[in-house]
């Protein structure tokens, strides 16, 4: 049980670490246009993201997929920027007839990218002599998922408060938060090590 809690807590803290806020930024960009009444859509998107990053985590940890860390560290803020820009330019458009297919496929792909980023961290904390990688990996992934649920819930609560008590429209809230995410992520892209090659 203590080993479960160890890897679970590492996964939880990895997402909620104030110094490693890229994952939180992505979740903010992803969930900002939604409200509690959209819980089915939010659940689908977060589940697809989970599926993508768990799959890539498995493939990377077992050495089936190997990608340079610097490329992944560059692609993660690109996924955040793309998601924020998508919602920035689609804010206020009717979502009733909108197909979830595009954003769902993009979210799945972004989950794969983020999972590769997690895999570098996970491989660094896994003891070199560990024969069983699957169980710690799943415990780590569960911690990540718990952290994601916390972040999504907090974003939805803040969204509710701002729209209900401060009378922000859904469109204005989406515009402000998407613009905020773009403003935070652009320096991350500009400072990427990939430009030094």
- pLDDT, residue 97, reads 45
> Alpha-carbon distance 32 to 171, whole Å?
10
Tokens 């939604």 belong to which residue? 34
At residue 194, φ and ψ (nearest 5 deg) are -60, -30
- pLDDT, residue 130, reads 63
> Alpha-carbon distance 185 to 172, whole Å?
20
> Which residues, 6+ apart, have CB-to-CB distance to 69 below 8 Å?
120
Under the banding of pLDDT at 50, 70 and 90, the label for residue 186 is: very high
Please provide the average confidence, as pLDDT, over all residues in the chain.
87
pLDDT tens per residue, range 123-158? 888 776 667 888 888 888 889 889 999 999 999 999
Average pLDDT over residues 58-71: 88
> Alpha-carbon distance 146 to 1, whole Å?
17
- pLDDT, residue 96, reads 44
Lookup: tokens for 30: 């992803």
Structural domain of 75:
2-196
Residue 121 has pLDDT above 70, yes or no: yes
Residue 29 has pLDDT above 60, yes or no: yes
Q: How many structural domains is the chain composed of?
A: 1
Distance spanning both ends of the chain, measured CA to CA: 45
Do residues 165 and 60 lie in contact, with contact meaning Cβ atoms separated by under 8 Å? Answer: no
Tokens 């479960």 belong to which residue? 4
Tokens 């990608």 belong to which residue? 67
Residue 105 has pLDDT above 80, yes or no: yes
- pLDDT, residue 99, reads 58
Under the banding of pLDDT at 50, 70 and 90, the label for residue 1 is: low
Residue 110 has pLDDT above 80, yes or no: yes
> Alpha-carbon distance 120 to 67, whole Å?
10
CB atoms within 10 A of CB 27: 24
Tokens 């692609």 belong to which residue? 75
Do residues 170 and 50 lie in contact, with contact meaning Cβ atoms separated by under 8 Å? Answer: no
Q: Is 32 helix (H, G, I), strand (E, B) or coil?
A: coil
């Amino acid at each position: 049980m203590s080993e479960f809690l160890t890897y679970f807590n590492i996964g939880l803290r990895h997402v909620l670490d104030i110094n490693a806020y890229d994952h939180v930024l992505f979740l903010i960009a992803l969930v900002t246009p939604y409200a509690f009444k959209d819980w089915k859509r939010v659940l689908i998107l977060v589940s697809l993201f989970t599926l993508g990053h768990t799959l890539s985590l498995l493939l990377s940890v077992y050495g089936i997929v190997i990608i340079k860390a610097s490329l992944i560290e560059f692609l993660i803020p690109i996924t955040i920027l793309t998601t924020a820009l998508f919602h920035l330019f689609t804010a206020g458009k009717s979502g009733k007839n909108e197909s979830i297919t595009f954003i769902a496929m993009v979210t799945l792909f972004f989950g794969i990218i983020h999972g590769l980023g997690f895999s570098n961290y996970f491989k660094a904390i896994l003891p070199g002599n560990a024969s069983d990688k699957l169980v710690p990996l799943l415990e780590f992934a569960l911690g990540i998922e718990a952290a994601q649920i916390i972040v999504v819930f907090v974003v939805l609560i803040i969204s509710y408060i701002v729209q209900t008590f401060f009378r922000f429209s859904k469109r204005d809230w989406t515009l402000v938060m998407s613009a905020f995410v773009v403003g935070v992520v652009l320096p991350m892209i500009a400072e990427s090590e990939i430009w030094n090659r």
